[in-house]
Amino acid sequence: MELKRVVVTGLGSITPLGNNVADTWEAAVNGVSGAGPITHFDASEFKTQFACEVKNFDPLNYFDNAKEARKLDLYAQYAIAAVKEGMQDSGIDVETIDRNRAGVIFAAGIGGLGTFEQEVSNYAVAPQRGPRYSPFFIPKMIADIAAGQISMIYGFHGPNFGTVSACASSNNALIDAFNYIRLGKADVIISGGAEAAIYACGVGGFNSMHALSTRNDSPKTASRPFSGSRDGFVMGEGSTCLILEELDHALARGAHIYAEIVGGGLSADAYHLTATHPEGLGAKLVMRNALDDAGLKPEDIDYINVHGTSTPVGDLSEVKAIKEVFGEHAYKLNISSTKSMTGHLLGAAGALEAMFCIKAMETGIIPPTINHEEGDDDPEIDYKLNFTFNKAQKRDVRVALSNTFGFGGHNASIILKKFEK
């Protein structure tokens, strides 16, 4: 069976750096941090009081009225905002395609955490009133509902589900969409991920694990991947959408093609609830699996958008894995962690970082890893590697790899390539 080729024909994004693709990319290239004091709730008593929030989001820009918006958790609102931009960008006319062969595979690492917190709190503060839960509680909360809502908007009757693998979720979604299309099961799939977890229970839960940075005196410099003083990740939120399409289907309608997806890899650390394997076992496996799936050699990769969350263990293990998989070529790569600017979008991270890889190929610019100061080195990290510290670098990028690693030991890597007929 001959596998189909899969291309990306639309992009949409709403992130802590901007409420569309263009603004997000411009901020990333300029090394802008999206971090600031938390506004979603009063965080004054929390160990971490800052995050990378989406700014100036107005649901009425995307929904007909406030009533419709209230039926959705914030994570699903973000998803639909990103998808509307992505679909418009793709130029797909839903009236002329076979909607039975068009699907939605959209991720969330957690789902409707804000809805869960609100509904449970309502009962907890006044149990004497009895259980009064909204009929929308469960439909708003579940992690698949963004995919379901998107399919209803466009009338897509093809494969439709959500993927959940913590911080690897949206790379899993992209790989699933890639597989369904290349196996001939669909022509078009709306894919990506969304997350909105900057709430008391989200920040408090991650704080209790000592996973978050507590650098409250300097939020914009808190996410500092690969620096010696890194002390945890910074929470982010938002959504990114990629429209995936079978090549002949895209060419037949004259679509603009951003890039081709050529491989995806999956693996498990099978090691620890939250920590990555200290020697990067799963990270090595997943990158090798992705390269094998793409039929590429390590030397073919130009740029790696790393998981790079700014945690003491995670950053180190990923560097070890890169050096082992890529050997001497590791020193010829550009490596960057855009989480230094966006924070960690959890279940939406993979989709956003795949978009950054595509924009790097399109523009010949590698977005930086910001916040590294001279002398702030980790003795166990090899700084002969090019981490693209602090300033974007020009480079022709033909092939890029994006890593995501999630709690539970879930690893997913995706490889994107400049499109050539």
The DSSP result for 141-207, as a single string, is HSTTHHHHHHHHHHT--S-EE---BTBTHHHHHHHHHHHHHHTTS-SEEEEEEEE---SHHHHHHHH
Q: Kindly list the structural domains of the chain, giving each domain's residue range(s) and its CATH number in brackets, ordered by start.
A: 6-252 (3.40.47.10), 265-417 (3.40.47.10)
Distances (CA, A) of 160 to 91, 107, 189, 216: 21, 11, 9, 41
Distance, in Å, from the CA atom of 161 to the CA atom of 163, rounded to the nearest integer, reads 7
H-state helical runs in 295-378: 312-326, 339-342, 349-363
Q: Are 314 and 210 in contact (CB under 8 A)?
A: no
pLDDT in the model for residue 130: 84
- Residue 88: CB atoms within 10 A of its CB come to 11
Strands 102-107 and 160-161: parallel
Q: Using CB atoms within 10 A of its CB, is residue 190 exposed (0-12), middle (13-18) or buried (19+)?
A: buried
Distance, in Å, from the CA atom of 78 to the CA atom of 145, rounded to the nearest integer, reads 12
Question: Each residue's pLDDT tens digit in the chain (421 positions)?
Answer: 899 999 999 999 999 999 999 999 999 999 999 999 999 999 999 999 999 999 999 999 999 999 999 999 999 999 999 999 999 999 999 999 999 999 999 999 999 999 999 999 988 888 888 888 999 999 999 999 999 999 999 999 999 999 999 999 999 999 999 999 999 999 999 999 999 999 999 999 999 999 999 999 999 999 999 999 999 999 999 999 999 999 999 999 999 999 999 999 999 999 999 989 888 999 999 999 999 999 999 999 999 999 999 999 999 999 999 999 999 999 999 999 999 999 999 999 999 999 999 999 999 999 999 999 999 999 999 999 999 999 999 999 999 999 999 999 999 999 999 999 8
- Residue 350: CB atoms within 10 A of its CB come to 36
- Residue 39: CB atoms within 10 A of its CB come to 11
Query: Is 344 designated active site?
Result: yes
Strands 188-195 and 334-336: unpaired
Query: Which is catalytic among the residues 40, 249, 277, 307?
Result: 307
Query: Which is catalytic among the residues 52, 167, 241, 357?
Result: 167
Query: Which is catalytic among the residues 344, 357, 372, 410?
Result: 344
pLDDT in the model for residue 358: 98
Dihedral sign from CA coordinates of 261, 267, 272, 275: negative
User: Under 8 Å CB-to-CB from 12, ≥6 apart: which residues?
Assistant: 20, 21, 81, 82, 83, 84, 85, 86, 87, 88, 89, 192, 239, 240, 241
Strands 188-195 and 259-268: unpaired
Residue with tokens 């989406």: 54
Amino acid identity, position 252: A
Q: Are 380 and 312 in contact (CB under 8 A)?
A: no
CA 90 to chain centre: 20
**Rounded to two decimals, what is the model's pTM?**
0.97
pLDDT in the model for residue 123: 86
Nearest partner of 72 among 143, 160, 140, judged by Cα: 140
pLDDT in the model for residue 124: 87
Counting every residue, how long is the chain?
421
pLDDT in the model for residue 99: 98
Cα 281–Cα 385–Cα 373 angle in degrees, nearest 5: 110
CA 331 to chain centre: 26
pLDDT in the model for residue 127: 82
Token output for 324: 């082992």
